[in-house]
Structure 1
Amino acid sequence: MNQLEMKKAAAQAALQFVKPDTIVGVGSGSTVNCFIEALGSLRHQIKGAVAASKASEQLLVRQGIEVFSANDVSGLDIYVDGADEINPQKMMIKGGGAALTREKIVASLAKNFICIVDESKLVDVLGSTFPLPVEVIPMARSQVARKLVALGGSPEWRENVVTDNGNIILDVHNFKIMNPVEMEKNLNNIAGIVTNGIFALNSAATVVVGTAEGTKIIR
């Protein structure tokens, strides 16, 4: 299977975690787009979905799935999202699509985080293959960048990208994240950072991996 076929296989396999008469939390990104397409087959069995990005919301509507605001629900049974990297402890780097803050918000509502990826996203150490996205309030861009440099990172402003919240993204290269929980907390304490793309405090409960040999589920 090529990469797209692996993503589709993981997305299809994730449908087994969707329970009837529930509202499903949905993230964003190319693998999630495959999941939304597959979720359309269950649109008459579920109540609807909460989307972590405007782009995902539009795709859900096209599938005939009712979209709820995060403010409309007190909790979700599952949240399904992809990752840019995921380690053996099911901790992730996310934010390649600049939706990391809303993804954290929707993920925090769910009992179970189901991460769907193709096998290229599996790493031993976070930061090995993908820079760490950090969402920053625009007026703090330079001062946050200086603090990230002091921590050993090489931040790069993702120009011409504005998040759904009206903020900017700094992609931090050269971070080998040996203690994801500590790093996630420390970065979020820097004034001007809305949140960072480490998902360690709320890691995945289950990982569905599309591989060349088929789909693998890691619980």
Structure 2
Amino acid sequence: MKTTGGSDAAKRRAGERAAERAEDGFVVGLGTGSTTAYAIDALGRAIDDGLEIRGIPTSFQSRQTALEASVPLTTLEEVDGVDLAIDGADQVADDSTADAYGALIKGGGGAHTREKLVDAAADEFVVVADPSKLAPTLERSVPVEVIPDAYSVVSERVRELGGDPTLRAAECKDGPVVTDNGNLLLDCAFGSIDDPEGVASTLARVPGVLEHGLFVDLADITYVGTDDGVETREY
């Protein structure tokens, strides 16, 4: 399993704690990333012990992880609703005194469009993270998925908004990263994001933008795995 940032033990603790929230008959959204992969593996073990659930993967990666864990899969179109979504984050706003408490930046894996669809549809959205993902204020670059013909126009609009867009380049092929939806990714640096709701709303109105990686007022709980346990944030 490929992991990035944080300790594997901390990620595993967070993922396994989130998996414990699944109950018989649940439809569970399966997010993307190394921490969520631990949750999917834990769900697979629970299924071996008799738990009956169905999972909705949010990317090719999470689908493959779920298949390896023998998690039965379905789609949003085939169910009446999603009971629980488990997903990671690239950064979590962790200042409990701020209005943005619990806001997220996602999309480091390029799957934030499908993740947002599933996470927003869930009755409960649980974030899994390690301490390296916590910050008082969101400040990482915001991934923005754009249709290919629009990336230069969207880039110019982002600059007008005070951002610095960079077309995400592939590491193992020439050219840009292409998402599961066949689109391109702009990583847009805005510096410290004191008003994620405002930035999210503005980006959503830019023609050519399919979806952005700011998740505002969506998370219900964050489980933060540490070296000796799991901390809980409720929003």
How high is the TM-score relative to the length of structure 1? Answer: 0.94
Q: How does 1:45-124 map to 2 (within 5 A)?
A: 45-88=51-94, 89-124=101-136
> Which piece of structure 1 moves more, 105-114 or 14-23?
14-23
Q: Deviations over 1:167-217 (max 9, x none)?
A: 0000012432111112111101000000110000x4210010012342111
Structure 1's consecutive aligned runs of 4 or more residues displaced over 4 angstroms after TM superposition are none
Aligned to 2:196: 180
Alpha-carbon contact 1:134-1:170 (below 8 Å) kept: yes
Does residue 1:161 correspond to 2:167, yes or no? no
Secondary structure of the corresponding residue to residue 67 of structure 1: coil
Residue aligned with 2:20, SS = helix
Q: Does 1:132 align with 2:142?
A: yes
Q: Who is 1:31 aligned against?
A: 35
Say whether 1:206 aligns with 2:221. Answer: yes
Work out whether residues 119 and 218 of structure 2, in 8 Å CA contact, stay in contact via their aligned partners in 1: no
Q: What's the TM-score once normalised by structure 2's chain length?
A: 0.88
Matched with 1:18 is 22
* 1:145 match: 155
Write the letter of the residue equivalent to 2:157. Answer: K
Q: Deviations over 1:137-157 (max 9, x none)?
A: 000000100111111111110
Match of 2:3 in 1: none
Q: Work out the CA distance in 2 between the residues paired with 1:14 and 1:92.
A: 17
* Aligned-pair CA distance for 1:47: 2.5
TM-superposed deviation, 1:35: 1.1
- Unmatched tracts of structure 2, length 5 or more: 1-5, 95-100, 170-175
Distance 2:189 2:74 in 1: 35
Q: CA RMSD in A?
A: 1.2
The question of whether the paired residues in 2 share the 8 Å contact of 1:74 and 1:109 is answered with: no
Q: Distance in 2 between matches of 1:11 and 1:107?
A: 16
The number of residues matched between the two structures is: 215
3-state SS of 1:46 partner = coil
Verify the 8 A CA contact 1:10 1:116 in the aligned structure 2: yes
